[in-house]
Amino acid sequence: MKKTIPILVAAAAALFILAALILGEPLAGWLEIVLNWAVIVASAALLVAIATLILTHLRNIVRGKRGFIFSIILISTFLVSFIGALVFGVDNSAYLRWVAAIQLPLETSLLGLAALVMTAAALQIFRSRGWSLLTLTFGISALVFLVISLGLLQALNIPVLTTVINYLQRLPMIGARGLLIGIGIGALLMGLRVVLGLERPWGE
């Protein structure tokens, strides 16, 4: 019995939302309420997960486990940004400037670091993957789109060249569409398994 209750709750929520989306107006009000509940519960799940993260690092500090210095850094920055938001308010511009001054350089530098790491990875593509139809077209396609991204060919303003470039820029649509349809079918069937109780992400 304990195992079937979660399955019934998941199936009930899913079937109600699908019915409300198909029937439209009569259930629109209730659908909004259920969506509101889901947003509140998802927000609470994130808060609980953040609390678990903080408790874990607190335990590391108390136990003096290796790497507890980083736990101190994490907890102190968390407290500063969380208490600062509650004291000054989340929309306070001075507080937002401090958050931006820390997050922006860190995230931009991480993405910039990804560019440097991709340069090194690009050298090894063929050594690690070997020659295959996929890797060969991947390499040639990457070279072609790098040249197009330079913008030098477009600047020549040669009509034929521009037409070829426009056509090349639409060519990846075919592979992307096939990928989207394939992944869509896979995700659709996984969603149906969750609704039917075949896939129970919460455990057994």
Partner 1 sequence: MILCPHCGKENLPQATRCVHCGEDLEELFRIEGMEDNSALQEEPDISVADLLESFRNDSSPKDEETRSADSTGQAYVSDSGAESNAEMPAEEEEQAPEWLARIRKRAQQEEDAAGELTRKGNSLDAARSEDHRGRVDEEFANWIGRIRENARRENLLMPKPAINSAASEEGVPEWLRKVRELQPEAEDGEQFAEEPAEEPAVEEVEPEEEQGEAAAQDQAQETESVVEQTSPEEILGDTEPAAEAVSELEPEPEAESAGEKAQPADEEDSDSGDAEELPESAAAPQFAPVLEELGLAADGAALELDEKPASSEELSADLLLLRRQKENAQILMNLIGEEGRGIPPAKTQRVSGRGLYRLILGAFLLLVLAAVLVFVPEAKPKQIENPAPAVALKDVLDRLASGDKVLVVLEYQAATSPELEQIAAPVLRELETRGAELQFLTTHPNGLWLADALMRAAEIPTRETAFLAGGRLGVLAAALNSEGNSAVIPAGIEELQKYELILLLEDSQTDIQNWIEQAGPWLSASKLGVLASSQNEALLLPYYDAGQLAGFAAGTLQGRVLAQALDQAPLTSAPSRAFQAGLLVMIAVILLGILSKAEADSSARHSKEPEA
Partner 2 sequence: MNPMDIVLGVIGIALSVMIFSYLLGDNFFFRAALYILVGVSSGYAAAVLVTKVILPRLVEPLSQNGTDAFWLGLVPLALCVLLVLMLVPRTVKAGTLPLAFLAGTGAAVAIAGISRGTLAPQLLSVVNRFSPELLRANAGVNWGGIVEALFILLGVISVLFYFHHHLSRKSAGTQRPLLVEGISSVGQIFLGISLGMLFVGFFSAALTALIARMLWLKEFILALLAG
Partner 3 sequence: MNEIITLDLLAIAIVCLALLSLAIALLTSRKHPYRNLRKNEALLDAEKLMHEAAEKGLRLTIGLGVNQVSSAPAPANLAGLPVLRLMSRRSVFNDQPAQALAGDGALAALGQLIVRGKYQNALATELFKPDFGLLAGATPYAYLAGLLPEVNYRANAGVFLLGSQRPETILAASLAEQKDLPLVAGTDDLSAQAVLLATNARLCLGEDALNAGAALESDPGAAASVRAQDWLRVLAVLGLLAGAVLKLLGVWQ
**Binding positions for partner 3, rule: CB under 8 A:** 22, 38-39, 42-50, 52-53, 55-56, 59, 67, 70, 106-107, 110-111, 113-114, 117-118, 120-122, 124-125, 128-129, 134-135, 138, 176, 179-183, 185-194, 196, 198-199, 201-204
CB 78 within 8 A of CB 54: yes
Amino acid at residue number 188: L
Tokens of 204: 């057994």
As measured in angstroms, the least distance from the Cβ of 62 to partner 3 is: 13
Question: Residues near 190 by Cβ (< 8 Å), separated by ≥ 6?
Answer: 199
Site residues for partner 1, 91-120, by CB under 8 A, read 91, 93, 96-97, 99-100, 103-104, 107-108, 110-111, 115-120
Q: Which tokens belong to 61? A: 């500090």
Segments in the chain forming alpha helices (H): 4-23, 28-63, 68-88, 93-129, 133-150, 152-155, 159-170, 172-196
For residues 189 and 198, give the distance between their C-alpha atoms in angstroms, rounded to a whole number: 11
Contact flag: residue 142 with partner 1 (CB under 8 A): yes
Give residues in contact with partner 1 (CB under 8 A). Answer: 28, 31-33, 35-36, 38-39, 42-43, 63-67, 69-70, 90-91, 93, 96-97, 99-100, 103-104, 107-108, 110-111, 115-120, 122-127, 131, 139, 142-143, 146-147, 149-152, 154-155, 157, 162, 166, 169-170, 172-173, 175-177, 180
